[in-house]
Each structure stands twice: as structure tokens, then as C-alpha cells.
Amino acid sequence: MNEPWWIDLIKAVILINLLLGMFAYMTWVERKLLGRMQLRYGPNRAGPFGLLQPIADLVKLIRKESFYPATAVDFLYITAPIVSTFTALLAFAVIPWGEGWHIAGYDISGEIADVPISLILIFALGALGVYGFIVGGWASDSKYALLGSMRTCAQLVSYEVALALSVLGVVLMAGSLSLTQIIDEQQHTIWYVIPQFVGFVVFLAAGTAETNRPPFDLPEADTELVAGYHTEYSGMRFGLFSMAEYVNMIVLSSLCVTLFLGGWLGPWPPLGPLWFLLKVLILIGFFIWLRATLPRLRYDQLMAFGWKVLLPVATLNALVTAALVVAFS
Amino acid sequence: MGNFLVWVVWFVAAFACLGSAAAVVSFANPFYSALALIGNLGSLAVLYLLLSAEFVAAAQVLVYAGAVMVMFLFVIAYLGRHADAPWAGGPSWQALGAVAAAGALMVEIVVVVGLKASGRLAKAPDVGVAFGSPSEIGRVFLSDHLLAFEITSIVLLAAAVGGVVLGSQAHEDEPKPSSGSAAGTRAK
């Protein structure tokens, strides 16, 4: 492999900008789609079809006075959104989005870092990202923010277990924790969504809860909690939290595509990134559709669903997969 | 160049480890202590990475720095910001004893490691490519250390059952919320 470090650097810079651009336009797509699903127009004032709306929002957030409670703990209050955004963006580094190319004597791989434990790394980064939410809520010194962060914490910890167990079937079938190898295996056999359909459904449900998306958006249930852990945040600090949430959603969709839907596989491999993007966009559209369709769960329903439905189903799926893998190998 | 980088990373991680460990026991606010403990576990994970144990490092971050410490923070945040430090105002001989015990432990570790590995420390590590990989760790767990592995699983199971039992007992001891009578008096 002839791939000097500066190629990785260029890839990282391009990818981070793509992710942030995608985040900005995801808010537009979401508002537009939600509007259409609810027989409204959605944003349509800034530019044609409201296309400049994300940019207007960004300018507004940056120019806003950064206002915070006098009793907030300064250092932690400022660090919390940075931690969340950083871990969310970093997780994308190990997700493969292409087959790799050979240009002018240089090899360009289809991911920034190919580590043998990339799947665990993504989960570890997700576990660290939770701290941004809980520390931010605590450091705000506000009862709504604290309650919101407590809920976030309880929900994320509960659903992380089901999420991790739901991918165990894929790991068992591929025999690897490396995302590139999991895609290789799918290229030679079959997309894992077919043999691992149960795991796929559990992953989608737990993933929706992991990213605080409706109908699992209890951490920011505005009727009870004002806005949850980011109640006391304004300006670009709020923007960072929002960015972390949307980037998490992109990362989770990408992980789902990688594990279950064949990643960048599709007709004519050099177009890999395009297939990858298409699949991710379909999944994101699905998440938005869910938001427009389902009402928010009650808190006890959420916990009961996580521990009494998703977790046993995911465990059973892993056990059955393990037995079958041993039987047929 | 590569070697120099390793030294820099080791230096930063090792001192972050010591500094955060000292911070854990010296903060008055338990929330900060818990955050320092997360930092400590994280810098330990970096040291594991330098020892080419990448799986252990990721598991350390996922399990200890992630899941376990979230529970700590959860409880501490519920207890409130101005909780007392756990041993504030204790007798000073306890502090002296703790420092003496820690010093003895450190001397012991240095002496034992020095005696056991005096000849081998100067050489490069002789580890294979598979060392520290998930499959290799799984193989060792299920062959050489099977008994310890299974006993650990039983201990964890016992702890989980114990947690459930204690939790359900605490529920029974609580005075029943007298919602019926309260509603009755309000109706009158």
C-alpha cells in the first residue's frame, strides 16, 4: 500500500466538510419533508425552495449573544458540546465508503482509518459522547437541563446494550470486527439484512433511541422538560449540540448501511461512494418519516420496550446466529 | 521519528494518568472526582494502545470509561452539586497511613518488576502480529484461562441477581404512596 499520510489528511478534511454540509442540509430536508407530510410548505423564504435556510440559520446562531446562567460551571459548560461533536465526527473515520482507488501511483483506500476493531471503536466513541450530554446538563445548573440529561443518560445506556447485541449476529457471520472485512464478506455472500433481518430491525429501533429521534425523543420532550439537556445553551454552543445529534444520526445510518445493507456495494464498484450515499439518504429519510408518523412514547413504555422487548430479542438473535454459524461451519 | 512519537505519547499518557489519579482523591466535589476518574481510565487506555493491546484499550473505554462511569455520574448528579467530600474532616493519621501504604505498594511493584524482568526490559518486545487482537484474546480466554473466565461470569451473574434482589427489597420498604387518601382529603 502506497498511501502517504497527507492523503489521509486530505480525505479527513473533505469528509468533515461533507459531513457538516450534510448536517446543514439535513435540517432543511427534514423541515421540508415534515412540512410536506403535514400539509405545510416548510421553509420557503430564504432562496429558491428555502435552500438558503440552513445558511441563514447558521449566520443567526453565530451572531447570537452567547447567553448562559450565572451559576453555570464555565469550563465544563463550554467543553460539553465540544466533546459531543468531536466524538460524533471522529466515529466516521473508520466507516468505509468506497472500494479504494489507484491513482497516479498512489493507493487511496475507501476509509480514513482501517483498524481491526473499528466496530468496537465506534461504540466506545458513542459511549464517550454521552458525557457531553450529561456534563452539559449538569453544568448548566438548571433543573430542566439536569432532568433532561438524566433521561438522556438512562435512555442511551439502556439502548446501547440492545444496539451492541443486535450487531453481534453480523460479527459472528463475518467473523470479524473490522468494517472493511464485514463488507468484503457481504460482497462474497449476501447482504446481511436478509439472514440478519431480526438484528436489522432491532438495530433500527435501538438506533432511533440512541440518536434521540422521535418517537424516542424523551430527553428533549418539550412539553415536560422545556428542551432537555441543552435548555440553557444558546448560539453556536446550542448549534454544536444540534450538530452532534445530526452527525450521530448520519454515523448511525452509515453504520447500519455498512453492517446490513452492503455498505458501498452496488452495480459498478468505482461508483461506491455514490451507492453508499444513496443508501444512507434512504435511511435518513426513513428516520424523518418515523418522526412524522409516530407519537412520542411515555417514559415507562420506553424503558419497558428497551429492556423487555429489544434486549431479549437481540439476545435470542445472537444465540441462534451463534448456533447456526457453528453448525454450518 | 516513530520512536520519538511513541515516547511523547507515553509521556503525556503516563503523566495524565498520575495527575488524574491524584485529582480523583483531591477534588472536594465528587462530580469532578468522577470526571477525573474517566480521564484516568482514558489515559490508561492510551497506555494499553502503546502496548499493542488495541482490543483491551477499546474495551476499557467502552466498558469502564463509558458504561460504568456513566452510572457514577448519574448517581452523583442526582445527589446534588454540594454533596460533602466522602472523607472530609477524617483523622489525619488515616491520610498518613494511606500515603505510606501507597508508597510501600509502589516500592514493591518496582522491586518485583525489576527482579523479574531486569534482563528483558532493554530489548524490543517480542509479540506476534496477532497479539492483542480480538480473536487471540478470545482464544486465550476459552483455552488457557477458561476456569477464571467462567468463575468471573458466575461472580458477575451473582452480582446482577444481588442487585435485583436489593433493588426490589428497597421498593418494599418504602412507605406506599398514599395517593388514594390524599385524593380523598382533597375531595373533601
Question: B185 in a domain, yes or no?
Answer: no
Q: Is the ipTM beyond the 0.85 threshold?
A: no
A146–B58 CB contact, under 8 Å: no
Reported as a single tens digit per residue, the pLDDT across A56-88 is 888 888 888 877 787 777 788 888 889 889 999
Of residues A58 and A219, the one with the higher pLDDT is A58
- Nearest CA of chain B to the CA of A271: how many Å? 32
Contact B61 A128 (CB under 8 A): yes
Q: How far, in Å, CA of B77 to CA of B60, rounded?
A: 23
Length of chain A: 329
Q: Determine the distance in angstroms separating the CA of A123 from the nearest CA of chain B, rounded to an integer.
A: 7
Within 8 A of A134 by CB-CB distance, chain B residues are 70, 73-74, 77
Is the residue at B165 inside a domain? yes
Nearest to B58 among A117, A131, A153 (CB): A117
Segment holding A247, helix H or strand E: helix A235-260
Whole-angstrom distance between the N-terminal and C-terminal Cα of chain B? 83
* CB B62, CB A127: distance < 8 Å: yes
Distance CA A169, CA A91 (A): 21
Residues 6+ apart with CB under 8 A from B54: A115, A116, A117, B48, B132, B133
Containing structural domain, residue B45:
1-83
pLDDT digits (tens, 9 = 90+) for A96-130: 888 877 777 777 777 888 888 888 889 888 888 88
What pLDDT score does B103 carry? 92
Over 80: is that where the pLDDT of A270 sits? no
The distance of Cα A234 from the centroid of its chain, to the nearest Å, equals 23
Task: Please give the full DSSP string across A130-171, using - where no structure is assigned.
Answer: HHHHHHHHHHTT-HHHHHHHHHHHHHHHHHHHHHHHHTHHHH
pLDDT band of residue B177 (cuts 50, 70, 90) is low
Please state, in angstroms and rounded to a whole number, the distance separating the CA atoms of residues B161 and B149. Answer: 19
**Whether A146 contacts chain B with CB within 8 A:** yes
Chain B nearest C-alpha distance from A42 (Å)? 38
Higher pLDDT, A102 or B43: B43
pLDDT over 50 at B180, yes or no = no
For A159, residues 6+ apart whose C-beta sits below 8 A from its C-beta are: A206, A209, A210, A216, A306, A310
Residues contacting residue B155 through CB under 8 Å, at least 6 positions apart: none
Containing A267, the helix (H) or strand (E) segment is: none
CATH number for the domain harbouring residue B22: 1.20.120.1200
For A215, phi then psi, to 5°, come to -85, 10
DSSP state of A266: S
Which tops the pLDDT comparison, B91 or A24?
A24
Considering CB atoms only, which of A121, A135, A150 is closest to B58? A121
Q: Chain B partners of A128 at a C-beta cutoff of 8 Å?
A: 61, 65-66
Q: Is residue B1 part of a domain?
A: yes
pTM score of the predicted model? 0.83
> Do A163 and A255 contact (CB within 8 A), yes or no?
no
B21: in domain: yes
Contact: A116, B134; criterion CB under 8 Å = yes
Residue-wise pLDDT tens digits, B101-145: 989 999 998 888 888 777 666 666 667 777 778 888 888 888 888
Q: How many CB atoms lie within 10 A of CB B25?
A: 15
List the single range of A310-314, B97-101, B113-117 with lowest mean pLDDT: B113-117
**Nearest residue on chain A to B63, alpha-carbon basis:** A124
CA-to-CA distance for A292 and A35, rounded, in angstroms? 9
Query: Quick check: A157 contacting B, CB < 8 Å?
Result: yes
Average pLDDT over chain B, rounded to an integer: 80
Phi then psi for residue A181, to 5 deg, are: -70, -35
Average pLDDT over residues B63-88: 75
Angstroms from A62 CA to nearest CA on chain B = 29
B151 and B75, same domain (yes or no): no
Give percent of chain A with pLDDT exceeding 70: 98
Q: Give residue B92's Cα distance to chain centre.
A: 26
Nearest in space to A215 (alpha carbons), one of A158, A292, A285: A292
User: CA dist B91 to B24, B94, B95, B96, Å?
Assistant: 19, 6, 8, 9
- Domain count of the fold of chain B: 2
Same domain, B136 and B59: no
Same domain, B69 and B143: no
The answer to whether A121 faces chain B, any CB pair under 8 Å, is yes
**What CA–CA distance (Å, rounded) separates A34 from B167?**
43
User: Considering the domain boundaries, does residue B179 fall inside one?
Assistant: no
Position B183 confidence tier, pLDDT thresholds 50, 70, 90: very low
pLDDT computed for residue B179 by the predictor: 46
DSSP A52: T
Cβ pair A276, A98 in contact under 8 A: yes
A159-213: pLDDT as tens digits = 888 898 899 888 888 888 888 888 888 888 888 888 888 989 999 999 888 888 7
Residues of chain B in contact with residue A149, where contact means CB-CB under 8 angstroms, are 77
| Residue B183 parent element (H or E) | helix B179-187
Mean predicted lDDT score pLDDT of chain A: 85
Contact with chain B for residue A113, Cβ under 8 A? no
- Please report the pLDDT score of residue A273 as a whole number: 85
Residues B1 and B78 in one domain: yes
Q: Is residue B144 part of a domain?
A: yes
Which of B83, B117, B144 terminates a domain? The answer is B83
Position B125 in a domain: no
Residue B188 is predicted with a pLDDT of: 37
- How many Cα atoms within 13 Å fall on the side-chain side of residue A99? 15
